[in-house]
Protein backbone atom coordinates (compact mmCIF):
# COMPACT_ATOMS: atom_id res chain seq x y z
CA UNK A 1 0.00 0.00 0.00
CA UNK A 2 1.37 3.42 -0.87
CA UNK A 3 2.03 5.93 1.87
CA UNK A 4 -1.00 8.06 1.10
CA UNK A 5 -3.31 5.06 1.44
CA UNK A 6 -1.59 3.95 4.60
CA UNK A 7 -2.04 7.38 6.06
CA UNK A 8 -5.74 7.30 5.23
CA UNK A 9 -6.09 4.00 7.05
CA UNK A 10 -4.28 5.37 10.07
CA UNK A 11 -6.33 8.54 10.18
CA UNK A 12 -9.45 6.45 9.67
CA UNK A 13 -8.50 4.43 12.75
CA UNK A 14 -7.80 7.65 14.66
CA UNK A 15 -11.18 9.10 13.69
CA UNK A 16 -12.95 5.97 14.92
CA UNK A 17 -11.04 6.20 18.18
CA UNK A 18 -11.81 9.89 18.54
CA UNK A 19 -15.49 9.26 17.85
CA UNK A 20 -15.74 7.09 20.95
CA UNK A 21 -13.58 9.45 22.93
CA UNK A 22 -10.57 7.26 23.67
CA UNK A 23 -7.92 9.20 21.75
CA UNK A 24 -4.93 9.60 24.05
CA UNK A 25 -1.47 11.06 23.35
CA UNK A 26 -0.63 12.83 20.10
CA UNK A 27 1.00 9.66 18.85
CA UNK A 28 -1.98 7.53 19.70
CA UNK A 29 -4.28 10.01 17.99
CA UNK A 30 -2.43 9.28 14.78
CA UNK A 31 -1.38 5.70 15.20
CA UNK A 32 -3.13 4.05 18.10
CA UNK A 33 -0.44 1.93 19.71
CA UNK A 34 1.77 0.22 17.11
CA UNK A 35 4.89 1.00 19.14
CA UNK A 36 4.73 -1.43 21.99
CA UNK A 37 5.29 -4.10 20.89
CA UNK A 38 6.72 -2.73 17.67
CA UNK A 39 4.38 -4.63 15.36
CA UNK A 40 2.76 -3.61 12.11
CA UNK A 41 3.90 -2.19 8.78
CA UNK A 42 4.28 1.25 10.38
CA UNK A 43 7.42 -0.10 12.05
CA UNK A 44 8.97 -1.50 8.85
CA UNK A 45 11.69 0.99 7.91
CA UNK A 46 13.51 -1.27 5.45
CA UNK A 47 11.28 -1.68 2.34
CA UNK A 48 12.42 -5.29 1.95
CA UNK A 49 10.77 -6.07 5.26
CA UNK A 50 7.44 -4.98 3.78
CA UNK A 51 7.27 -6.56 0.33
CA UNK A 52 6.16 -10.07 -0.56
CA UNK A 53 8.05 -11.61 -3.49
CA UNK A 54 6.96 -15.20 -2.82
CA UNK A 55 4.14 -17.25 -4.34
CA UNK A 56 0.97 -15.25 -4.43
CA UNK A 57 -2.57 -15.45 -5.80
CA UNK A 58 -3.27 -11.80 -6.55
CA UNK A 59 -7.02 -12.26 -7.06
CA UNK A 60 -7.43 -13.95 -3.68
CA UNK A 61 -5.00 -11.69 -1.84
CA UNK A 62 -6.81 -8.59 -3.11
CA UNK A 63 -9.98 -9.81 -1.41
CA UNK A 64 -8.27 -9.47 1.97
CA UNK A 65 -6.67 -6.02 2.25
CA UNK A 66 -6.81 -6.15 6.05
CA UNK A 67 -4.74 -9.35 6.07
CA UNK A 68 -2.21 -8.01 3.55
CA UNK A 69 -2.00 -4.67 5.30
CA UNK A 70 -3.47 -4.83 8.81
CA UNK A 71 -4.51 -1.64 10.59
CA UNK A 72 -1.55 -0.29 12.59
CA UNK A 73 -3.40 -1.02 15.83
CA UNK A 74 -3.70 -4.76 15.08
CA UNK A 75 -1.34 -6.82 17.21
CA UNK A 76 -0.39 -10.51 17.52
CA UNK A 77 -2.59 -13.18 16.01
CA UNK A 78 -5.62 -15.21 17.00
CA UNK A 79 -7.44 -18.28 15.69
CA UNK A 80 -8.98 -17.73 12.26
CA UNK A 81 -12.45 -16.18 12.63
CA UNK A 82 -13.24 -15.95 8.91
CA UNK A 83 -14.80 -18.67 6.78
CA UNK A 84 -16.98 -18.67 3.69
CA UNK A 85 -19.63 -20.54 1.76
CA UNK A 86 -18.03 -19.17 -1.43
CA UNK A 87 -15.27 -21.79 -1.51
CA UNK A 88 -16.77 -24.92 0.06
CA UNK A 89 -18.00 -28.07 -1.69
CA UNK A 90 -21.51 -27.88 -3.15
CA UNK A 91 -23.41 -31.17 -3.08
CA UNK A 92 -25.71 -31.07 -6.11
CA UNK A 93 -28.65 -33.39 -6.62
CA UNK A 94 -31.65 -33.19 -8.91
CA UNK A 95 -33.90 -30.84 -6.92
CA UNK A 96 -31.24 -28.59 -5.40
CA UNK A 97 -27.92 -28.35 -3.62
CA UNK A 98 -26.39 -27.70 -0.22
CA UNK A 99 -23.02 -26.67 1.19
CA UNK A 100 -21.90 -26.23 4.76
CA UNK A 101 -19.43 -24.50 7.07
CA UNK A 102 -19.00 -26.58 10.23
CA UNK A 103 -16.42 -26.97 12.97
CA UNK A 104 -14.78 -29.71 10.85
CA UNK A 105 -13.23 -26.98 8.69
CA UNK A 106 -13.83 -23.86 10.82
CA UNK A 107 -12.30 -24.85 14.14
CA UNK A 108 -13.40 -21.82 16.17
CA UNK A 109 -17.12 -22.37 15.50
CA UNK A 110 -17.92 -24.57 18.50
CA UNK A 111 -21.49 -23.41 19.03
CA UNK A 112 -22.97 -23.15 15.54
CA UNK A 113 -22.72 -24.85 12.13
CA UNK A 114 -24.17 -23.27 8.99
CA UNK A 115 -25.72 -24.74 5.85
CA UNK A 116 -26.70 -22.90 2.67
CA UNK A 117 -29.34 -24.77 0.65
CA UNK A 118 -31.16 -24.33 -2.64
CA UNK A 119 -34.34 -26.17 -3.62
CA UNK A 120 -35.95 -26.01 -7.07
CA UNK A 121 -39.68 -25.51 -7.68
CA UNK A 122 -40.87 -28.80 -6.19
CA UNK A 123 -37.39 -29.71 -4.90
CA UNK A 124 -37.64 -31.59 -1.57
CA UNK A 125 -35.21 -31.93 1.33
CA UNK A 126 -36.48 -35.29 2.51
CA UNK A 127 -38.28 -36.00 5.79
CA UNK A 128 -35.58 -36.19 8.45
CA UNK A 129 -34.51 -35.23 11.95
CA UNK A 130 -31.27 -34.62 13.84
CA UNK A 131 -29.62 -34.21 17.24
CA UNK A 132 -29.38 -30.41 16.92
CA UNK A 133 -31.96 -27.65 16.70
CA UNK A 134 -32.34 -26.00 13.27
CA UNK A 135 -32.79 -22.26 12.74
CA UNK A 136 -33.29 -20.79 9.27
CA UNK A 137 -33.73 -17.58 7.33
CA UNK A 138 -35.21 -17.57 3.81
CA UNK A 139 -32.84 -15.80 1.42
CA UNK A 140 -34.87 -16.08 -1.76
CA UNK A 141 -38.12 -17.57 -3.04
CA UNK A 142 -40.63 -19.66 -1.12
CA UNK A 143 -40.46 -22.83 0.91
CA UNK A 144 -43.16 -25.08 2.39
CA UNK A 145 -42.05 -26.55 5.70
CA UNK A 146 -43.66 -29.40 7.66
CA UNK A 147 -42.91 -30.34 11.26
CA UNK A 148 -44.42 -32.48 14.04
CA UNK A 149 -43.85 -31.69 17.71
CA UNK A 150 -43.27 -34.25 20.48
CA UNK A 151 -46.95 -34.20 21.47
CA UNK A 152 -47.97 -35.14 17.92
CA UNK A 153 -49.08 -31.65 16.91
CA UNK A 154 -48.32 -30.87 13.23
CA UNK A 155 -47.56 -27.59 11.50
CA UNK A 156 -47.36 -26.87 7.76
CA UNK A 157 -46.33 -23.37 6.70
CA UNK A 158 -45.19 -21.42 3.66
CA UNK A 159 -42.11 -19.31 4.41
CA UNK A 160 -41.20 -16.18 2.41
CA UNK A 161 -37.95 -14.31 1.87
CA UNK A 162 -36.72 -12.75 5.11
CA UNK A 163 -38.76 -15.04 7.38
CA UNK A 164 -37.43 -17.56 9.90
CA UNK A 165 -38.13 -21.06 11.11
CA UNK A 166 -36.88 -22.98 14.13
CA UNK A 167 -37.18 -26.73 14.69
CA UNK A 168 -36.20 -27.95 18.17
CA UNK A 169 -33.65 -30.79 18.28
CA UNK A 170 -35.18 -34.12 17.32
CA UNK A 171 -38.44 -32.88 15.80
CA UNK A 172 -39.06 -34.41 12.33
CA UNK A 173 -39.43 -32.02 9.43
CA UNK A 174 -39.23 -31.49 5.66
CA UNK A 175 -38.60 -28.56 3.31
CA UNK A 176 -39.85 -28.03 -0.24
CA UNK A 177 -39.14 -25.14 -2.60
CA UNK A 178 -41.96 -23.84 -4.77
CA UNK A 179 -42.76 -21.03 -7.21
CA UNK A 180 -40.74 -20.03 -10.27
CA UNK A 181 -37.63 -19.17 -8.20
CA UNK A 182 -37.68 -22.20 -5.93
CA UNK A 183 -36.04 -21.45 -2.58
CA UNK A 184 -32.68 -20.59 -1.11
CA UNK A 185 -32.10 -20.38 2.63
CA UNK A 186 -29.44 -20.33 5.33
CA UNK A 187 -29.68 -22.92 8.09
CA UNK A 188 -27.92 -22.66 11.44
CA UNK A 189 -27.59 -25.51 13.96
CA UNK A 190 -26.86 -25.17 17.67
CA UNK A 191 -23.65 -27.24 17.50
CA UNK A 192 -20.55 -26.72 15.39
CA UNK A 193 -20.32 -30.51 14.97
CA UNK A 194 -23.56 -30.75 12.98
CA UNK A 195 -23.40 -32.04 9.40
CA UNK A 196 -26.25 -31.79 6.88
CA UNK A 197 -24.74 -34.84 5.20
CA UNK A 198 -25.41 -37.06 8.22
CA UNK A 199 -28.96 -36.55 9.43
CA UNK A 200 -31.51 -39.23 10.35
CA UNK A 201 -33.43 -39.93 7.11
CA UNK A 202 -36.86 -41.56 6.77
CA UNK A 203 -35.77 -43.42 3.60
CA UNK A 204 -32.73 -44.97 5.26
CA UNK A 205 -34.61 -46.11 8.35
CA UNK A 206 -37.37 -47.76 6.30
CA UNK A 207 -34.80 -49.39 3.99
CA UNK A 208 -33.00 -50.84 6.98
CA UNK A 209 -36.06 -52.24 8.78
CA UNK A 210 -37.25 -55.80 7.94
CA UNK A 211 -40.41 -55.73 5.73
CA UNK A 212 -42.32 -57.86 8.25
CA UNK A 213 -41.56 -55.36 10.99
CA UNK A 214 -42.79 -52.51 8.76
CA UNK A 215 -45.94 -54.54 8.07
CA UNK A 216 -46.58 -55.17 11.76
CA UNK A 217 -45.74 -51.60 12.74
CA UNK A 218 -48.05 -49.95 10.21
CA UNK A 219 -50.71 -52.70 10.08
CA UNK A 220 -50.45 -53.23 6.31
CA UNK A 221 -49.15 -56.12 4.15
CA UNK A 222 -45.34 -56.29 3.82
CA UNK A 223 -45.83 -56.21 0.04
CA UNK A 224 -46.97 -52.57 0.35
CA UNK A 225 -43.28 -51.63 0.82
CA UNK A 226 -41.93 -53.46 -2.24
CA UNK A 227 -41.04 -50.17 -3.99
CA UNK A 228 -39.25 -48.37 -1.18
CA UNK A 229 -35.98 -46.66 -2.20
CA UNK A 230 -32.93 -48.64 -1.13
CA UNK A 231 -30.79 -45.53 -0.75
CA UNK A 232 -31.39 -42.12 0.74
CA UNK A 233 -33.10 -39.39 -1.28
CA UNK A 234 -31.77 -36.45 0.78
CA UNK A 235 -32.62 -33.81 -1.85
CA UNK A 236 -34.79 -34.83 -4.80
CA UNK A 237 -37.09 -33.33 -7.42
CA UNK A 238 -40.74 -33.69 -6.41
CA UNK A 239 -44.09 -32.36 -7.58
CA UNK A 240 -44.64 -28.73 -6.49
CA UNK A 241 -47.01 -28.60 -3.50
CA UNK A 242 -50.72 -27.76 -3.89
CA UNK A 243 -52.65 -25.14 -1.90
CA UNK A 244 -51.45 -24.68 1.69
CA UNK A 245 -55.01 -25.02 3.05
CA UNK A 246 -55.29 -28.53 1.56
CA UNK A 247 -52.03 -29.63 3.24
CA UNK A 248 -53.16 -28.07 6.53
CA UNK A 249 -56.41 -30.03 6.40
CA UNK A 250 -54.60 -33.24 5.45
CA UNK A 251 -52.18 -33.14 8.43
CA UNK A 252 -54.77 -32.14 11.09
CA UNK A 253 -54.51 -33.95 14.40
CA UNK A 254 -56.97 -34.31 17.29
CA UNK A 255 -54.08 -33.04 19.45
CA UNK A 256 -54.30 -29.66 17.76
CA UNK A 257 -51.46 -27.41 16.57
CA UNK A 258 -48.21 -26.44 18.30
CA UNK A 259 -48.95 -23.60 20.77
CA UNK A 260 -46.10 -21.45 19.35
CA UNK A 261 -45.52 -21.47 15.61
CA UNK A 262 -42.16 -22.76 14.41
CA UNK A 263 -42.19 -19.98 11.77
CA UNK A 264 -41.53 -16.30 12.48
CA UNK A 265 -42.38 -13.52 9.98
CA UNK A 266 -39.21 -11.51 10.51
CA UNK A 267 -39.65 -9.77 7.15
CA UNK A 268 -42.66 -7.94 8.64
CA UNK A 269 -40.80 -6.72 11.75
CA UNK A 270 -39.68 -3.12 12.15
CA UNK A 271 -36.13 -2.57 13.44
CA UNK A 272 -35.67 -3.12 17.18
CA UNK A 273 -33.18 -0.22 17.29
CA UNK A 274 -32.49 2.34 14.57
CA UNK A 275 -29.93 5.11 14.23
CA UNK A 276 -28.48 7.29 11.50
CA UNK A 277 -25.78 4.66 10.94
CA UNK A 278 -28.10 1.68 10.51
CA UNK A 279 -30.42 -0.69 12.34
CA UNK A 280 -30.59 -3.84 14.46
CA UNK A 281 -33.57 -6.21 14.35
CA UNK A 282 -33.70 -8.87 17.06
CA UNK A 283 -35.57 -12.19 16.93
CA UNK A 284 -35.18 -14.40 19.99
CA UNK A 285 -37.40 -16.38 22.36
CA UNK A 286 -38.84 -13.13 23.73
CA UNK A 287 -40.73 -12.56 20.44
CA UNK A 288 -40.07 -15.72 18.37
CA UNK A 289 -41.19 -17.92 21.30
CA UNK A 290 -40.29 -21.26 19.71
CA UNK A 291 -36.64 -20.29 19.16
CA UNK A 292 -35.30 -21.52 22.49
CA UNK A 293 -31.63 -22.14 21.59
CA UNK A 294 -30.87 -19.63 18.81
CA UNK A 295 -31.08 -15.85 19.17
CA UNK A 296 -30.66 -13.68 16.07
CA UNK A 297 -29.93 -10.06 15.24
CA UNK A 298 -30.13 -8.76 11.68
CA UNK A 299 -27.76 -5.79 11.41
CA UNK A 300 -27.69 -3.15 8.66
CA UNK A 301 -24.83 -0.61 8.53
CA UNK A 302 -24.89 2.35 6.13
CA UNK A 303 -21.87 3.16 3.94
CA UNK A 304 -19.26 4.81 6.17
CA UNK A 305 -21.04 3.50 9.25
CA UNK A 306 -19.80 1.27 12.04
CA UNK A 307 -21.41 -1.36 14.28
CA UNK A 308 -20.16 0.08 17.56
CA UNK A 309 -17.52 -1.46 19.86
CA UNK A 310 -19.28 -4.11 21.96
CA UNK A 311 -19.25 -7.69 23.20
CA UNK A 312 -21.69 -10.42 24.14
CA UNK A 313 -21.62 -11.67 27.75
CA UNK A 314 -23.67 -14.82 27.20
CA UNK A 315 -22.58 -16.63 24.02
CA UNK A 316 -20.27 -16.84 21.01
CA UNK A 317 -21.43 -14.92 17.92
CA UNK A 318 -21.73 -16.66 14.53
CA UNK A 319 -22.14 -14.26 11.62
CA UNK A 320 -23.51 -14.70 8.14
CA UNK A 321 -22.74 -11.85 5.76
CA UNK A 322 -25.68 -11.19 3.43
CA UNK A 323 -24.93 -8.00 1.50
CA UNK A 324 -22.22 -5.43 0.97
CA UNK A 325 -18.68 -5.58 2.29
CA UNK A 326 -16.98 -4.74 5.53
CA UNK A 327 -14.32 -5.64 7.99
CA UNK A 328 -14.38 -6.74 11.59
CA UNK A 329 -11.73 -6.26 14.25
CA UNK A 330 -11.73 -8.59 17.27
CA UNK A 331 -9.95 -7.76 20.55
CA UNK A 332 -8.70 -10.29 23.13
CA UNK A 333 -6.34 -10.34 26.10
CA UNK A 334 -2.63 -10.39 25.31
CA UNK A 335 -3.31 -7.85 23.90
CA UNK A 336 -4.49 -9.23 20.61
CA UNK A 337 -6.35 -7.31 17.93
CA UNK A 338 -7.01 -8.73 14.47
CA UNK A 339 -8.96 -7.47 11.49
CA UNK A 340 -10.52 -9.55 8.71
CA UNK A 341 -12.44 -8.59 5.55
CA UNK A 342 -15.86 -10.00 4.75
CA UNK A 343 -18.06 -10.18 1.68
CA UNK A 344 -21.51 -11.63 0.91
CA UNK A 345 -21.61 -15.37 1.66
CA UNK A 346 -18.83 -15.20 4.26
CA UNK A 347 -19.04 -16.40 7.86
CA UNK A 348 -17.53 -14.75 10.93
CA UNK A 349 -17.15 -15.95 14.51
CA UNK A 350 -16.45 -14.08 17.75
CA UNK A 351 -15.90 -15.89 21.04
CA UNK A 352 -18.05 -14.91 24.00
CA UNK A 353 -16.95 -11.64 25.65
CA UNK A 354 -14.30 -10.70 23.07
CA UNK A 355 -14.59 -7.04 22.04
CA UNK A 356 -15.39 -6.36 18.38
CA UNK A 357 -16.70 -3.85 15.87
CA UNK A 358 -17.69 -3.96 12.22
CA UNK A 359 -17.03 -1.24 9.66
CA UNK A 360 -18.88 -0.89 6.36
CA UNK A 361 -16.00 -0.55 3.86
CA UNK A 362 -18.25 -0.61 0.77
CA UNK A 363 -20.46 1.88 -1.03
CA UNK A 364 -23.74 0.07 -0.34
CA UNK A 365 -25.56 -1.01 2.81
CA UNK A 366 -23.81 -3.77 4.72
CA UNK A 367 -26.21 -6.42 6.03
CA UNK A 368 -25.22 -9.36 8.21
CA UNK A 369 -26.74 -11.75 10.73
CA UNK A 370 -25.47 -12.31 14.27
CA UNK A 371 -26.55 -15.67 15.70
CA UNK A 372 -26.06 -16.92 19.25
CA UNK A 373 -26.61 -20.31 20.85
CA UNK A 374 -28.90 -18.78 23.45
CA UNK A 375 -32.55 -18.12 24.22
CA UNK A 376 -31.94 -14.37 24.07
CA UNK A 377 -29.86 -11.66 22.51
CA UNK A 378 -27.50 -9.83 24.92
CA UNK A 379 -24.80 -7.24 24.44
CA UNK A 380 -22.57 -4.81 26.34
CA UNK A 381 -21.69 -1.57 24.56
CA UNK A 382 -18.35 0.15 25.28
CA UNK A 383 -19.80 3.64 24.87
CA UNK A 384 -22.75 2.72 27.09
CA UNK A 385 -20.36 1.46 29.79
CA UNK A 386 -18.13 4.54 29.70
CA UNK A 387 -21.14 6.88 29.70
CA UNK A 388 -22.70 5.19 32.71
CA UNK A 389 -19.59 5.01 34.88
CA UNK A 390 -18.64 7.96 37.17
CA UNK A 391 -16.96 10.50 34.82
CA UNK A 392 -13.97 11.10 37.15
CA UNK A 393 -13.23 7.41 37.12
CA UNK A 394 -13.34 7.14 33.31
CA UNK A 395 -11.28 10.33 32.83
CA UNK A 396 -8.50 8.96 35.05
CA UNK A 397 -8.31 5.79 32.93
CA UNK A 398 -8.31 7.23 29.44
CA UNK A 399 -6.94 10.77 29.97
CA UNK A 400 -9.92 12.26 28.18
CA UNK A 401 -11.66 15.50 29.09
CA UNK A 402 -15.03 15.88 30.76
CA UNK A 403 -16.22 17.58 27.56
CA UNK A 404 -15.28 14.57 25.43
CA UNK A 405 -16.97 12.22 27.85
CA UNK A 406 -20.13 14.35 27.87
CA UNK A 407 -20.33 14.00 24.08
CA UNK A 408 -20.81 10.25 24.30
CA UNK A 409 -24.40 9.25 23.71
CA UNK A 410 -26.42 8.47 26.83
CA UNK A 411 -28.36 5.94 24.79
CA UNK A 412 -26.23 3.30 23.15
CA UNK A 413 -26.26 3.82 19.42
CA UNK A 414 -25.54 0.23 18.15
CA UNK A 415 -24.68 1.59 14.73
CA UNK A 416 -22.83 4.89 14.33
MN1 LIG B 1 -33.08 -30.37 9.18
MN1 LIG C 1 -21.50 -8.60 18.02
Å from CA of 282 to ligand 2 middle: 12
Å from CA of 300 to ligand 2 middle: 12
What pLDDT score does 23 carry? 37
Å from CA of 147 to ligand 1 middle: 10
Structural domain boundaries in the chain: 4-51, 89-197+234-264, 269-378
Taking alpha carbons only, the member of 360, 365, 309 closest to residue 337 is 309
Proximal ligand: closest to the CA of 331: 2
Proximal ligand: closest to the CA of 81: 2
CATH assignment of 89-197+234-264, among 3.40.1670.10, 3.20.20.70, 1.10.287.1770, 2.60.120.10 = 2.60.120.10
Q: Is residue 370 flagged as an active site residue?
A: yes
pLDDT band for position 29 (50/70/90)? very low
Three-state DSSP state, 184: strand
Quick one: average pLDDT of 107-123?
A: 98
What pLDDT score does 91 carry? 98
Å from CA of 358 to ligand 2 middle: 8
pLDDT band for position 249 (50/70/90)? very high
pLDDT reading at 8 higher than 50: no
Per-residue pLDDT of 331-367, as tens digits, reads 999 999 999 999 999 999 999 999 999 999 999 999 9
Proximal ligand: closest to the CA of 350: 2
Å from CA of 370 to ligand 1 middle: 20
Strand ranges, E, within 10-95 = 82-84, 91-93
Å from CA of 175 to ligand 1 middle: 8
Range with lowest mean pLDDT among 51-65, 84-98, 170-184, 280-294: 51-65
Å from CA of 313 to ligand 1 middle: 29
Q: Cα(first)–Cα(last) distance of the chain, in Å?
A: 27
Å from CA of 368 to ligand 2 middle: 11
What pLDDT score does 302 carry? 96
Cβ atoms of 296 and 370 closer than 8 Å: yes
Residue from 58, 370, 379, 403 carrying the catalytic annotation: 370
**Residues with Cβ–ion distance below 5 A, ligand 1:** 134
pLDDT reading at 45 higher than 90: no
What pLDDT score does 275 carry? 83
Proximal ligand: closest to the CA of 132: 1
Topology alike, domains 89-197+234-264 and 269-378: yes
Cα–Cα distance, 291 to 298 (Å, whole number): 15
Proximal ligand: closest to the CA of 173: 1
pLDDT reading at 11 higher than 60: no
pLDDT reading at 206 higher than 60: yes
Q: Give one DSSP letter per residue of 245-272, joined into a string.
A: HHHHHHH--TT---SS-SEE-GGGPPPS
Å from CA of 373 to ligand 2 middle: 13
Most confident of 54-58, 272-276, 323-327: 323-327
What pLDDT score does 32 carry? 62
Proximal ligand: closest to the CA of 199: 1
Q: DSSP label at 411?
A: S
Per-residue pLDDT of 152-163, as tens digits, reads 999 999 999 999
What is the pTM (predicted TM-score) of this model? 0.90
> What is the four-CA torsion angle of 200, 202, 208, 213, rounded to 10 degrees?
130
Q: Which CATH topology does 269-378 take?
A: Jelly Rolls (2.60.120)
Cα–Cα distance, 139 to 142 (Å, whole number): 9
Å from CA of 62 to ligand 1 middle: 36
Amino acid sequence: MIDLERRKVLIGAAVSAAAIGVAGSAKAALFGNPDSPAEGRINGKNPTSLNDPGPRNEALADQFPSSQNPPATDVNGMPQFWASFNNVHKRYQNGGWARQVTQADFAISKDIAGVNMRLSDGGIRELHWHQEAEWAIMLDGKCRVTVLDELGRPEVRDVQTGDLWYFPAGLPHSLQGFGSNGAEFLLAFDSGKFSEFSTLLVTEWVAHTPPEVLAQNFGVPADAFRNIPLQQKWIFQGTPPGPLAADERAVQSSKGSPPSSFVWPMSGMSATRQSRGGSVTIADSRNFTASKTIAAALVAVKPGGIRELHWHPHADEWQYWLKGRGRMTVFDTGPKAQTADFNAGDVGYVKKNLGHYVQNTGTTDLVFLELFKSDRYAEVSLSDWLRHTPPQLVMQHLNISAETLAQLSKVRPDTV
